[in-house]
Each structure stands twice: as structure tokens, then as C-alpha cells.
Amino acid sequence: MFKHVPNILTIIRFLLIPVLIYYAIKDNYVATIIVLTVSGITDILDGFIARKFNFITDFGKLMDPLADKATQVTLLAIMAIQKIIPFWIIAVVILKEFCMIAGASFLYGKELVVSSKWYGKVSTVLFYIAIVGSMLTLYWNANLVSRGFPVIPEFATYIYYLAVISTIFSLAMYIKAFYVQGYLKNVIKKKATDK
């Protein structure tokens, strides 16, 4: 039973997404940050337990980064709709994820599982930091400025820019990894052999 804990934690992250949507559209920034923090803790725990006890599975390799991306894209989409961030940011992220999904579909059934890499995690972490930064700023300016506290500028904008750059970089690195590790070479070779 214990060996399934990492995958259960990953599933919990998927189940937390509707909760995040509810609080985010209600502009309940504190609750959104708390749920996002819980989601982040489950992410850290499932990775730690999987590596520590060698409970790494193909399901985990695929679904763990998918849970991260689903959470991230959901929150960014809500923030874009609410005009907290420009739409081009979510457009870049969705384009990158579309390329990743297309690549995964291309490799599906070829006994090749591409797990997440550090550069993919960096962009995810940067987006999470930016999202939390935006929500803290919004909460502060909406609730504390009226009590005499100074207005906080939207500092998270620069973190979003870093996250977008990191996203583009990670896509380039994944494409390179597909080629260097032989994913694309093997697929192309296999197609040539099948003919």
C-alpha cells in the first residue's frame, strides 16, 4: 500500500485544482495561496518518497509533471481572464505544453517515457512564485492599504518574465534531450525499418 503513496499524492493535486479555481475566481487570495501551498507540499512529498523508497513508476513520471502543469495553467488562465497578467503569458505556456503533449503523443506506444527534468521544474517553480507574489500583492493592496499601509507595486511581473524565458528554454532543452538521448533517432530509424 505504501508504494502507492506518491501516486495518491499526485492524484490529490488533481483533486485540489477545482478548489483552487473556486477560491481564485472568488478573489479569495489567502485561501488560494493556502491550497496552492498544500498542493506544492504534496508535490515535494511524492517526489521525495518515490525517490527515497524507489517507488518510481511510469504513471508517476507522466502524471506528476501533468499535475504541476494543470495546476499552473489553470491559475494562469484565471489570472489572465481577470486581467492580472497579460494573455500572451498564458499563450506562451499553452503553446509550450501543446508541443510537449504532441511530443509525448509521438512517443506513445514506443516504450519510451520522458520524465520531467530540472529545467522544467525551474519554470514551474518560477511561475508558482510569481502567482503567489501577485496574490499577496493583490491581497495587500485590496485589504491593507485602506488601513494606512503603503501600496506595494506589482513586483511579480519581472518573475513572470523570468518564468516565460525559463519555459522557452525548457522546451528547447526537452527537444534537445529527445534528440540527444535517441528518442527521435530511434523513432525515425524504426519508421525507416518498418518501410
**pLDDT tens figures, 62-89:** 788 889 889 999 999 999 999 989 999 9
Residue 78, number of CB atoms within 10 A of its CB: 19
76 neighbors 23 (Cβ within 8 angstroms): no
53: pLDDT strictly greater than 90: no
pLDDT digits (tens, 9 = 90+) for 118-157: 777 888 889 999 999 999 998 888 887 777 777 777 788 8
126 neighbors 162 (Cβ within 8 angstroms): yes
Stated pTM of the model: 0.80
Cα distances from 103 to residues 98, 112, 119, 165, 179, in angstroms, run: 8, 11, 17, 20, 12
**CATH class of the structural domain 2-194:** mainly alpha
Ranges of H-type helices in 26-153? 29-52, 58-81, 87-107, 118-143
pLDDT digits (tens, 9 = 90+) for 136-147: 998 888 887 777
For residue 86, give every residue at least 6 positions away whose Cβ sits within 8 Å of its Cβ, in sequence order, or none. 80
Domain parsing of the chain, residue ranges: 2-194
